[in-house]
Amino acid sequence: MAEKIIKSEYSEVMSKSFVDYAMSVIIARALPDVRDGLKPVQRRVLYDMHELGIKHDKPYRKSARIVGDTMGKYHPHGDSSIYDSLVVLTQDFKKGLALVDGHGNFGNIEGDAAAAMRYTEARLQKITEEAFLADLDKDVVDFVPNFDETEKEPSVLPVKIPNILVNGSEGIAVGMVTSIPPHNLGEVIDATLMFLKDPDMTTADLMKYIKGPDFPTGGIVINEDELLQIYETGVGKIKVRGKVEVEKGKNGKTNLVITEIPYPMIGANISKFLSDIAALYESKKAPDIVDISNQSSKEGIRIVIELKKDADVENYKNMLYKKTRLEDTFGVNMLAISHGKPETLSLRDIIANCVEFSYEFNQRKYTNLLAKEEEKREIQEGLIKACNVIDLIIEILRGSKDRAMAKKCLVEGITDGIHFKSKESKIMAMQLMFTEKQANAILEMRLYKLIGLEIEALIKEHDETMSNIFKYEDILERKSSMTQVISEELKAIKKQYARERRTVISNQSEAVYEEKKMEEMDVYVLMDRFGYVKAVDLATYDRNLESIKEECKFAVLCKNTGKVCLFDDNGMLYTAKVADIPLGKIRDKGIPIDNITAYTSNDSSIMLLCSQSDLNLYRMIFISKMSFMKVVDGGEFDVTRKTIQATKLTDKDRLACVCILNEQKNVVLVSDDGYFLRFPIEQIPEKKKGAVGVRGMKLSNGALIDKVFFTGNATDNVIIYNDTEIPSSKIKLSNRDGKGTKLRL
């Protein structure tokens, strides 16, 4: 067969392929279905546990077994995604309603990871069996082939509650993200019950029952007035605060105790919160903090901040809200798969979808139950009829040569070949006319069924069957009856599993924190050769002047309210607040300059450390290794950004010198091939910081500036080069851009 080549535009093929991929990620991986509130991997994990029979009243099974079975049958995307989903389903601090009962280390609220799947065990929660998986055997949802078409899996679980609201959901797809907060089970059921009574209810009506999100970590939602807009559009920001209590401490001190945290703080953000408080103390912004301790346990969150006696407690509470993540934002984007496509839904849309789904699967459920009861009725009526003429049935069976002959007589009234005791029996046998199923049941009936009590039980069972048939027909024919059934199921779930609301919904004003003004004083900022910085007061500096000169590379006098500026040989300027540098004793090590600036010592070295106020008063001189130089007004470096390019350098060029111009008169350039050039500084033009500058010395091929010295007017100035003292008078005073003189040292 000849090959058939189909020509197509490349961009069209790429576009179609990407759209197919994106939709696959959106629908088959990342976003939950609004009907059951589950992502495919979560649905598959729960269904697999159901298939394995790991029920709430059965022993736990290894997580590795569950993960392996799920991956082999339904979810071939790697074990890590399956186990991660299983872990989240067990975590009651992330989910409003944990669907899996975990045994072992499944992580904690502080962000510690779960143990490996070979160590942990799990089983289904009771509510998962009752509200998520109970009706799967009644053909209430469609089953679809798995990835290799060797198994069948449900396309959606017959969930009886709006799980997408109760447990919320988070996921990132291609070009879209979903973020739905968890809500209170009892409130969600109340709203659903009211919607069943009045489908015309608006989001505002429903919010009389659903006050807002109910995070498992508690906390306080502080923008109640904005919630209606968020739930009507499905998009918005919910502001959440942690709960802070004031307790009396030891020796008259006061403790701020954090007992509930904002939902977004779960995990590593708790340690970030603690480090933020420590940073506030170290930077002298919270000097009244005495101690911080995390006393959290299985019983709940308890973070204790001990304050001094005279501390302004209310101001410190506001500081926690303002300066740390104790007040945070939960971004809401209620995006879910609705009718096969991603859609941003309002609160009303979500409940309407869930109620519609409840009607759909209950319609299928009671249709199937009715069919089974009809089948039971047919057989029961046949057996009752047979019991009434049991002597004739026995006569037919004894007179028949085989089963087929007896069955033909029972179904079609054909008596050929059957021996009867009398003509009357034969005539009666011709009039029986049982159905096929009834005949089979009669032929398989055991003799003990003829006992009187057994016949009474059969009649009673038939009465129950007829009662069920009338009940199911009523449910299927009248919507009000169906509504009543759904409502009763929801009420039963609420009665057994609902709990009190944990999150407080209110309107609160923005936290106002008045930062205490730092008392201005002169300090010396010291930096050693390893890049560690610290600040000392003037008295400490004067007492330790000799050791400071020996150990420190830079010592800068400045105000504690000012800034220090750091220049490196890549021509970058980094600024830091002096307040961020710890004020301590001469023996203190200090902190790395990397901690308070973006400077890194990987590919650069520090050329100058100075105060911002000095830059504003004086000019600066820049000299590069390739002998480009310029003078720049120091005011150009008074910027708000913490990192800027201080000067422009050509490729592979670096700074040889950068310093503040004060009383220097002459500059001496020394090349690495031994040439010295001395000329007046006034010959160096003043330029902007973005300029390269002018050439200061003619260098031989491959030569670079090795050292830079500055001298005054006096002829007895001495420079020290390679441990040799050289009087400046020995170096001829020349002009800029000369080659210089080669000295013999």
583 DSSP assignment: B
State residue 23's pLDDT score: 64
Residues 358 and 440 in one domain: yes
Residues 567 and 648 in one domain: yes
Instruction: Report yes or no on 6 lying in a domain.
Output: no
The values of phi and psi at residue 118, to 5°, are -75, -15
Residues 600 and 462 in one domain: no
Residues 310 and 445 in one domain: no
Residues 488 and 569 in one domain: no
Q: How far is C-alpha 284 from the geometric centre of its chain's CA atoms?
A: 33
Which residues belong to the active site? 119
Residues 540 and 460 in one domain: no
> For tokens 């396309």, what's the residue?
155
For residue 153, give the CATH number of its domain.
Answer: 3.90.199.10
Instruction: Report yes or no on 182 lying in a domain.
Output: no
State residue 448's pLDDT score: 63
Instruction: Report yes or no on 230 lying in a domain.
Output: no
Instruction: Report yes or no on 84 lying in a domain.
Output: yes
State residue 509's pLDDT score: 80
Residues 476 and 534 in one domain: no
Number of domains in the chain: 4
Residues 538 and 400 in one domain: no
For residue 422, give the CATH number of its domain.
Answer: 1.10.268.10
Grouping H, G, I as helix, E, B as strand and the rest as coil, residue 721 is: strand
State residue 129's pLDDT score: 95
Instruction: Report yes or no on 211 lying in a domain.
Output: no
Longest dimension (CA), the chain: 154
State residue 225's pLDDT score: 93
Residues 654 and 698 in one domain: yes
Residue where a domain terminates, one of 306, 325, 344: 325
- Residue range(s) defining the domain that contains residue 264: 243-325
Residues 485 and 439 in one domain: yes
Instruction: Report yes or no on 566 lying in a domain.
Output: yes
Tokens of 561: 């309210």
Contacts of residue 242, Cβ cutoff 8 Å, sequence gap at least 6: 219, 220, 258, 260, 261, 262, 265, 320, 326, 327
Instruction: Report yes or no on 508 lying in a domain.
Output: no
Q: From 257, 262, 233, 261, select the one nearest 246 (Cα to Cα).
A: 257
State residue 517's pLDDT score: 67
Residue where a domain terminates, one of 325, 343, 376: 325
Instruction: Report yes or no on 337 lying in a domain.
Output: no
Q: What is the CA radius of gyration of the chain?
A: 42
> For tokens 């690495």, what's the residue?
672
Provide the residue type at 257 as one letter.
V
**Weakly modelled stretches of the chain, pLDDT under 50:** none
pLDDT tens, position by position, 716-730? 577 888 778 888 778
For residue 318, give the CATH number of its domain.
Answer: 3.30.1360.40
147 DSSP assignment: T
Q: From 168, 512, 500, select the one nearest 327 (Cα to Cα).
A: 512
State residue 20's pLDDT score: 62
Residues 376 and 289 in one domain: no
State residue 160's pLDDT score: 95
Residues 450 and 527 in one domain: no
Residue where a domain terminates, one of 109, 142, 158: 158
